[in-house]
Amino acid sequence: MVWYKDGLRFKCLNNCSNCCTGAPGFVYLTDGEIENISNFFKISKKSFLTKYTRQVRNGISLKENYKNFDCCFLKDKKCLIYTQRPKQCKTFPWWKNNLKTTQAWQNSKKDCPGLDHVDGKLYSFQEIQKNLSDEDLL
């Protein structure tokens, strides 16, 4: 039986932005997302890839500040591409890594104060499964 069969509460507190900074990680992009974000900035895909991305082991990831690990699109604790943000960002915290075990979920709470938040929406098992993503840590 899946440990979160009764659902989980979550509320993004928006202003903490811990999930966009704080530790080395990857934000992977699909071809469609590369196209969308390039269009959003009205630049060519080539320029977008050069300026904002890096080739990593499992694909293409957004660049991050190598000192504080801020995502390249994090500015004043806000996402500059919020409406076009990659699926990996949209599906947080419903990542397989976070949901593997109760312990994994508890560990993720150290970084995200919105997990199990008392005012959070209760996401049903079905809703969680619908959003479930393979993505690795940001």
User: Would you count residue 94 as binding ligand SF4 (CB under 6 A)?
Assistant: no
Residues 6+ apart with CB under 8 A from 124: 7
Instruction: State the Cα–Cα distance between residues 45 and 51, nearest whole angstrom.
Output: 10
Instruction: State the Cα–Cα distance between residues 33 and 135, nearest whole angstrom.
Output: 15
Rank residues 40 and 125 by Cβ distance to ligand SF4 and give the closer one: 40
User: Would you count residue 37 as binding ligand SF4 (CB under 6 A)?
Assistant: no
One-letter amino acid of 22: G
CA angle 2, 4, 6 (to 5 degrees): 110
Rank residues 1 and 51 by Cβ distance to ligand SF4 and give the closer one: 51
Q: Which of 4, 9, 12, 132 binds ligand SF4 (CB under 6 A)?
A: 12
Q: Are 85 and 40 in contact (CB under 8 A)?
A: no
User: Would you count residue 8 as binding ligand SF4 (CB under 6 A)?
Assistant: no
Binding mask 38-77 for ligand SF4 (x = CB under 6 A): ------------------------x--------x-xx---
CA angle 75, 11, 59 (to 5 degrees): 55
Q: How far is CA 111 from CA 6, 15, 138, in A?
A: 23, 13, 11
Rank residues 83 and 103 by Cβ distance to ligand SF4 and give the closer one: 83
Stretch of residues binding ligand SF4 (CB under 6 A), selected from 1-9, 12-20, 94-102, 127-135: 12-20
Contact footprint for ligand SF4 (CB under 6 A): 12-14, 16-20, 27, 62, 71, 73-74, 79, 81, 85, 89, 92, 112-114, 138
